[in-house]
């Protein structure tokens, strides 16, 4: 069969699959995504695109007929088997078609928000239709099938059936990890709990410790142990080794049907009975009038809200604030903004008007499809087509250990942050009975952003420096939302950027920034220890008379798995 016939057969085979799209971030089950308004490229631009495609297609066919197709610099098609015609031609034809479709979407005469949604939807279709995703068109998988005598396909089917039972794609060998066994193993005790969270006090790792403790507020949409994976990459352990006393909130994973469930918990509950309560217990146990506080991702948004509530009450209980890849200004939410519009938020508000839980699988599926090649189709090919077992990877185990969310909390968060961006506006919101004004926060702040973050763009993390009124240090790390944060100092990998000079905006800050090798953790620890008070003998035991230890860390709450 000649290359053109192969390409035509491939196009016919893939045609019926074109309707496959990932679930929408903000839609309840059974609700249809909002239809795109009619939009098309201008006629003259469309003609140019068609002409360019015809020219490139002719060149591709001519090169194939002469046997001069170049190897492709794309991991999906980089295997030796792909270099042989007709497979190389099919890969080239796919990439040419994908470039043309993206060019058409980019040229649509429509608002930027609509073009972003079009491009996102198109990305899902393009990545799903890659010939590497289909056994009939993947020569690497075919070769593996032949060389294994069919065992690779048997293993792939077994992997697929196992994932169907779990309801998700396996990204790692989950049998290699266990919470409290080889993950979240830093020694400590649960010293307080209520229906929302457990508070962990970690055991000191130095003879002397700084008097002022650090309270860590992790995101409630994930489990806390991303900050305490294994000893070599645990931010918690690193802080303890610097002589810092560490307390950490372990949010409860609400499960359906629990008698004291969180079906009706809202943002105010998570602020008052969550963050503020944790601040008070940490102060009481440590005997300190003020604590330092760190918020990661949504935990940073919750923490800043709680501090603004305390400020309105004229209570200064926190001495310094650290924000890691957190949003206070939601003007630019990156790729997530394609999921949010007024109609979708209203659907969620109606769905959770009488309470309920947002299932963990909905958020997990959405975040996976933000990077479909890396987190979806790569595993479809390796696990199912090639029959390979995923390698052990602690971060991906954590990523699969998702949590449910109270529906009212989720609906409030969608409307007042992603949709209306109200947190940044003084007095627009009332939380815990007081008007909210983040611009009154005048405590020292350390704000961190990751340069390749697709969930919290680093420029949006930087925008927090324009809201906070105290002395603020902004640091930019390499890599993405999670890998940028979890960059252990012991490995001395990647780099980070600093700039202490005043700057008019994020890009001006970056233009004057100095790149430093290694982990930003060392920079942060120096900043934190300078605000943690004098050294004194480490506490002899956890808790206090009022808050005795309840159970060893990591506690019960973090072990509850969403089904």
Structure tokens at 103: 């060019």
Provide the pLDDT for residue 35. 47
Average pLDDT over residues 298-327: 98
What is the SS3 assignment for 89?
helix
pLDDT at 14 over 60: no
Predicted confidence at residue 367, as pLDDT, reads 82
pLDDT at position 497 over 50: yes
What torsion do the CA atoms of 386, 389, 395, 400 make, to the nearest 10 degrees? 90
Are the beta carbons of 23 and 105 closer than 8 angstroms? no
The pLDDT value recorded for residue 541 is 95
- Is pTM beyond 0.85? Reply is yes
- If you average pLDDT over residues 469-478, what whole number do you get? 97
Q: What is the pLDDT of residue 362?
A: 87
DSSP 417: I
Per DSSP, the three-state class of 480 is: coil
The 10s digit of each residue's pLDDT in 147-176 is 999 999 999 999 999 999 988 899 999 999
The one-character DSSP state at 123 is: H
Query: If you average pLDDT over residues 179-204, what whole number do you get?
Result: 98
pLDDT at 491: 86
The H or E element containing residue 7 is helix 3-14
CA–CA dist 453, 474 (Å, integer): 15
So where are the chain's domains?
3-18+41-147, 188-335+434-559
- Using the Cα atoms of residue 490, residue 492, residue 496 and residue 501 in order, give the sign of their dihedral: positive
Least confident of 39-43, 403-407, 489-493: 39-43
Q: Is the pLDDT of residue 271 over 90?
A: yes
318-324/291-296 β-pairing = parallel
Write down the pLDDT at residue 168: 87
User: In the chain, what percentage of residues exceed pLDDT 90?
Assistant: 79
Catalytic residue among 61, 220, 297, 432: 297
Asked if residues 253 and 561 have their Cβ atoms less than 8 Å apart, the reply is yes
Of 140, 124, 122, 120, the closest CA to residue 132 belongs to 140
Q: Is the pLDDT of residue 13 over 60?
A: no
**Average of per-residue pLDDT values in the chain:** 91
Check whether 12 has a pLDDT greater than 60: no
Q: Assess whether 220 carries a catalytic annotation.
A: no
Taking only the tens place, the pLDDT of each residue in 39-84 is 677 889 989 999 999 999 999 999 999 988 888 989 999 888 898 7
- 188 Cβ neighbours under 8 A, 6+ residues apart: 200, 201, 202, 203, 246, 542, 552, 553, 554
- Which residue do the tokens 């947002």 mark? 358
Residues 6+ apart with CB under 8 A from 482: 226, 395, 399
**Which whole number is the average pLDDT over 302-315?**
98
State the average pLDDT over residues 198-226: 97
Six token digits for residue 7:
């390409």
Closest CA to 450 of 519, 373, 530, 372: 519
Identify the residue with better confidence: 432 or 364.
432
pLDDT grade, residue 113 (50/70/90)? confident
- CA dist 292 and 470 (Å) reads 14
**What integer pLDDT is reported at residue 6 of this predicted model?**
40
Backbone angles phi, psi at 188, to 5 degrees: -175, -175
CA angle 393, 76, 383 (to 5 degrees): 45
Please say if the pLDDT value at position 287 is more than 50.
yes
pLDDT of amino acid 310: 98
- The pLDDT of 415-434, averaged and rounded, is 97
Mean pLDDT of 536-555: 97
The DSSP secondary structure of 256-298, one letter per residue, reads TT-TT--TT--HHHIIIIIIIHHHHHHHHHHT-S-EEEEEETH
User: Quick check: 451 and 476 in contact, CB under 8 A?
Assistant: yes
CB atoms within 10 A of CB 414: 20
* Res. 24 pLDDT band, cuts 50 70 90: very low
Look-up of token digits 């048997």: 154
Closest to 292 in 3D by CA, of 228, 327, 243 = 243
Domain 188-335+434-559: CATH superfamily, name plus number: Alpha/Beta hydrolase fold, catalytic domain (3.40.50.1820)
Predicted confidence at residue 157, as pLDDT, reads 96
181 conformational bin, left if phi > 0, alpha if psi -120 to 50, beta if neither: alpha
What is the spatial distance between Cα 460 and Cα 329, in angstroms, rounded to a whole number?
7
Rounded to the nearest 5 degrees, what angle is found at the Cα of 285, between the Cα atoms of 280 and 288? 70
% residues pLDDT > 70 (the chain): 93
Enter the tokens of residue 441: 């926060």
Q: Outline where DSSP puts E strands in 344-487.
A: 357-358, 405-406, 430-431, 434-435, 445-450, 472-477
Classified as helix, coil or strand, 461 is helix
């Amino acid at each position: 069969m000649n290359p053109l016939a192969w390409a035509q057969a491939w196009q016919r085979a893939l045609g019926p699959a074109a309707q496959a799209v990932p679930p929408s971030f903000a839609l309840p089950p059974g609700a249809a995504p909002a239809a795109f308004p009619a939009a098309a490229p201008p006629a003259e631009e469309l003609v140019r695109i068609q002409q360019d495609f015809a020219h490139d297609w002719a060149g591709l066919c001519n090169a194939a007929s002469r046997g001069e197709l170049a190897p492709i610099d794309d991991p999906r098609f980089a295997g030796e088997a792909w270099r042989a015609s007709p497979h190389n031609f099919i890969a080239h034809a796919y990439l040419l078609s994908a470039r043309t479709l993206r060019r058409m979407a980019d040229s649509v005469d429509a608002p930027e928000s609509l073009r972003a949604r079009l491009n996102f939807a198109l990305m899902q279709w393009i990545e799903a239709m890659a010939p590497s995703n289909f056994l009939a068109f993947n020569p690497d998988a075919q070769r593996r099938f032949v060389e294994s005598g069919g065992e690779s396909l048997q293993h792939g089917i077994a992997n697929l059936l196992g994932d169907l039972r779990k309801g998700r794609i396996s990204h790692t060998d989950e049998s290699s990890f266990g919470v409290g066994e080889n993950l979240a193993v830093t020694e400590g005790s649960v010293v307080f709990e209520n229906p929302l969270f457990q508070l962990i006090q970690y055991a000191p790792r130095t003879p002397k410790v700084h008097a002022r403790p650090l309270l860590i507020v992790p995101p409630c949409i994930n489990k806390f142990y991303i900050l305490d994976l294994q000893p070599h990459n645990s931010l918690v352990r690193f802080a303890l080794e610097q002589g810092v006393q560490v307390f950490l909130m372990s949010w409860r994973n609400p499960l359906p049907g629990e008698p004291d469930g969180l079906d009706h918990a809202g943002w105010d509950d998570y602020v008052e009975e969550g963050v503020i309560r944790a601040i008070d217990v940490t102060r009481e146990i440590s005997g300190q009038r003020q604590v330092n506080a760190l918020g990661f991702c949504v935990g940073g948004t919750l923490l800043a809200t709680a501090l603004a509530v305390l400020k309105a009450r004229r209570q200064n209980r926190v001495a310094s604030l650290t924000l890691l890849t957190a949003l206070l200004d939601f003007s630019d939410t990156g790729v997530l903004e394609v999921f949010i519009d007024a109609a979708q938020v209203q659907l969620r508000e109606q769905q959770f008007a009488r309470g309920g839980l947002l299932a963990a699988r909905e958020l997990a599926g959405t975040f996976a499809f933000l990077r479909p090649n890396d987190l979806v189709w790569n595993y479809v090919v390796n696990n199912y087509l090639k029959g390979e077992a995923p390698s052990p990877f602690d971060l991906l185990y954590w990523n699969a250990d998702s949590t449910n969310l109270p529906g009212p909390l989720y609906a409030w968060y969608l409307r007042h942050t992603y949709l209306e961006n109200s947190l940044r506006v003084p007095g627009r919101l009332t939380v815990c009975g007081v008007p909210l004004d983040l611009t009154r926060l005048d405590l020292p702040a350390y704000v961190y952003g990751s340069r390749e973050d697709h969930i919290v763009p680093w420029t949006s993390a930087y925008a927090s420096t324009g809201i906070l009124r105290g002395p603020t240090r902004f640091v930019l790390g390499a890599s993405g939302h999670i890998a940028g944060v979890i960059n252990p100092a012991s490995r001395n990998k990647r780099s980070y950027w600093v700039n202490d000079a005043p700057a008019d905006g994020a890009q001006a800050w970056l233009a004057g920034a100095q790149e430093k090798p290694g982990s930003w953790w060392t920079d942060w620890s120096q900043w934190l220890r300078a605000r943690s008070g004098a050294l004194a003998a480490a506490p002899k035991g956890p808790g206090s008379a009022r808050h005795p230890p309840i159970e060893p860390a990591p506690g019960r709450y973090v072990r509850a798995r969403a089904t």
